[in-house]
Amino acid sequence: MTFKEKKFIEGWSMHQFTSDLYPKDRINFQQYYKIYGTNIDSLIKNNILLVPTFIKIDVDGIEHLILKGGKNTLLNSNVKSILVEIDENFKVQLYTILKIMKKNNFIIKEKVNSFMNGKSNKFKNHFNYIFDRN
């Protein structure tokens, strides 16, 4: 996959690890390079990780793809809660995540504005959704 960086600063956000799925007007990238990627189910199946109890996904635009790659993991009753950052302007992402979570018997426990909301109108529709297993 291609990794795209807006700025070359350690720990900086707004990078993208995927093809061009996120709305193009959102980010001007300065660097591109290839990087290996896998999915949640592969990490569990190959005993790289144990099935987690809690999952946090905040990856600047591909949260729905991460969840799609964890369909078997999400069925595991050990997973109790998942926090997912969602940009509600990115409708494909929003509706895909809500559908996946409902299908896997998770309900919205809480919806909180992302940290950056108070600092910029650009992020006013970014929320941390907390889903608990029903």
Prediction pTM value: 0.79
- CATH class (in words) of the domain with range 39-133: alpha beta
pLDDT of residue 44: 96
What ranges make up the beta strands (E) of the chain? Answer: 2-5, 16-17, 31-34, 54-57, 81-87, 106-113, 126-133
Express each pLDDT in 3-35 by its tens digit. 656 666 666 665 566 655 555 545 566 666 677
pLDDT of residue 63: 92
**Whether the Cβ atoms of residue 19 and residue 44 lie closer than 8 Å to each other:** no
Q: How confident is the model at residue 88 (pLDDT cuts 50, 70, 90)?
A: very high
Burial class (CB in 10 A: 0-12, 13-18, 19+), 128: middle
**Edge-first strand listing for the sheet containing 54-57:** 54-57, 81-87, 126-133, 106-113
pLDDT of residue 5: 61
- Encode 25-37: b = buried (16+ Cβ within 10 Å), e = exposed: eebeeeeeeeeee
Domain boundaries, the chain: 39-133
Looking at the predicted structure, is the pLDDT value of residue 119 above 60?
yes
Express each pLDDT in 26-84 by its tens digit. 556 666 667 777 899 999 999 999 999 999 998 878 899 999 999 999 999 999 999 99
**Whether the Cβ atoms of residue 67 and residue 97 lie closer than 8 Å to each other:** yes
